[in-house]
A and B are shown apart, each in its own frame.
Chain A
């Protein structure tokens, strides 16, 4: 069994009008099956309103399934006795950096999770130090969060989760409110955690360039899984992605267009180095050089 598993997960909520009368039922997540292995980097994509954030909130028991089951490290999230263990095993980072930092000093915020878990004081300090170092924010430990950039705030939030020693981190659009620099910082920190600490990462995003390094990508649409596979497999289906209101990296798009015009290129090109290598220019110059 994987670290996170979901079987036929359904989540419905009741829409009400202003007087509180039931207007209808919306199915935000529709029969989703999920199996995430320990140490994996899984990206979940989808446009706004595709159900990806609702799905994420099931993975650390903020929401409970209407039907179906979610297991975190083998524990059913619907069982109340596991609640705190689950939240510790699967930590969560949210979209808005300002609305998830509780402490008025960086180090105190990182210590918040361990404090709640009842970790002894001395160990809290050790955990805070190691977590801040892991995201490269140790030199800012005495700063006020209000003075940090968006990317730095999100790294503090990530440190706050790591300090709880989770096996898995779920990041719910952590870069949506950041500028390109901040986005890079955060994704770099997340990848480092995944590779060095072998923490399972579930990254919810709509930026395609952030998923290139994922082991697996899942595309959500209307509450269910519309596509899944390696990033390369996903990116090779340009038309389908466009239908699902998603972007394709420009390189992939260019390769796709060239291919349509009859140039022989492999599917799902992800970086411009790959494209440059693959273009038939290569043979031509080689011939010139050799001949």
Chain B
């Protein structure tokens, strides 16, 4: 019932992208997104498209797998396009009823659509090629300087990875409790909103109780295994930059320079 969440799920295969340090992938994703919003001409987008296509190609993740994840955002995409199409002031082209499509509107809508699609593909490429664990490790290390500002970086990363570990377990549990209450005649589907919200009580109460019990057990198990926060801790899989990571940074630098130069300042 609840297992069909595929957006951004890790896709297991072997590629250079998979093997890259998660920090590189995080930084690359951020730079790529920034570049999308910096460029404002066709050449810029062509460069971004070429870059993205190359990355997808060498990631060995089937393209249709990414498109599958896109389905859930089609609606969002449509709204953005429609708003830009009709609500941008400028030189009018066609008029339906009270809505006017302008030349600027078409330009903006197209740009917005391209940006959004690239943004989603770019960031799902990161999550598709990086295990959640690796990703939290990368974030923890990247944000380590924030520790000086008393940001609990290690704790946040630990919470994220525990949440990731327990999501499937709690989903399964939700499924089970739901079925058990349906077996007792509960109805989660019919009725108005208030009735629907009310009908969730027999599901949510047991679910919360179970989550707290699990949290309690887990805390005890972690303490029993000498967990005492991020201090004194070593890493089984420490993040170390390899040659490929340095190369990747170089490629990234080159990309951003080319993209911004042509996409922003180059005029045809």
**Contacting residues, chain B, for A119 (C-beta < 8 A):** 234
The answer to whether A87 touches B218, judged by C-beta atoms less than 8 angstroms apart, is no
A163 nearest CB neighbor, chain B only:
B225
Partner of B226, one of A88, A108, A121, A125: A88
**Contacting residues, chain A, for B233 (C-beta < 8 A):** 115-116, 118
Which bucket holds chain B's interface residue count?
20 to 34
**Contacting residues, chain B, for A234 (C-beta < 8 A):** none
In the docked arrangement, what's the CA distance between A286 and B223, Å? 61
Max chain A Cβ within 10 angstroms of own Cβ: one of B133, B161, B165, B228: B165
In the docked arrangement, what's the CA distance between A271 and B228, Å? 46
Question: Is B63 on the interface with A (CB-CB < 8 A)?
Answer: no
The answer to whether B131 touches A115, judged by C-beta atoms less than 8 angstroms apart, is no
Choose the segment among B13-21, B84-92, B235-243 that binds chain A (4+ C-beta atoms closer than 8 Å). B235-243
Q: How many A-B residue pairs have CB under 8 A?
A: 93
Question: Is A60 on the interface with B (CB-CB < 8 A)?
Answer: yes
The answer to whether B165 touches A104, judged by C-beta atoms less than 8 angstroms apart, is yes
The answer to whether B232 touches A118, judged by C-beta atoms less than 8 angstroms apart, is yes
In the docked arrangement, what's the CA distance between A2 and B131, Å? 45
**Contacting residues, chain B, for A108 (C-beta < 8 A):** 133, 236-237
The answer to whether A104 touches B225, judged by C-beta atoms less than 8 angstroms apart, is no
The answer to whether B224 touches A92, judged by C-beta atoms less than 8 angstroms apart, is yes
Partner of A164, one of B169, B213, B220, B226: B226
Question: Is A186 on the interface with B (CB-CB < 8 A)?
Answer: no
Question: Is B164 on the interface with A (CB-CB < 8 A)?
Answer: yes
**Contacting residues, chain B, for A99 (C-beta < 8 A):** 213-214, 217-218, 221
In the docked arrangement, what's the CA distance between A104 and B135, Å? 12
Max chain A Cβ within 10 angstroms of own Cβ: one of B213, B217, B221, B223: B221
**Contacting residues, chain B, for A60 (C-beta < 8 A):** 224
The answer to whether A102 touches B162, judged by C-beta atoms less than 8 angstroms apart, is yes
**Contacting residues, chain B, for A87 (C-beta < 8 A):** 223-226
The answer to whether A121 touches B234, judged by C-beta atoms less than 8 angstroms apart, is yes
| Subset of 30 A-B contacts with CB under 8 Å | A60-B224, A62-B220, A92-B224, A96-B217, A98-B214, A99-B214, A102-B218, A102-B221, A102-B222, A102-B225, A103-B133, A108-B133, A112-B222, A112-B227, A113-B225, A115-B233, A115-B234, A116-B225, A116-B226, A116-B233, A118-B232, A118-B234, A119-B234, A120-B234, A121-B235, A121-B236, A121-B237, A124-B236, A125-B236, A146-B169
Question: B residues touching A (Cβ–Cβ < 8 Å)?
Answer: 131-133, 161-162, 164-165, 168-169, 213-214, 217-218, 220-228, 232-238
Apart from A62-B224, A105-B131: 13 A-B pairs, beta carbons within 8 A: A87-B223, A92-B224, A99-B213, A99-B221, A102-B165, A107-B236, A108-B133, A112-B227, A121-B235, A160-B225, A161-B225, A164-B225, A164-B226
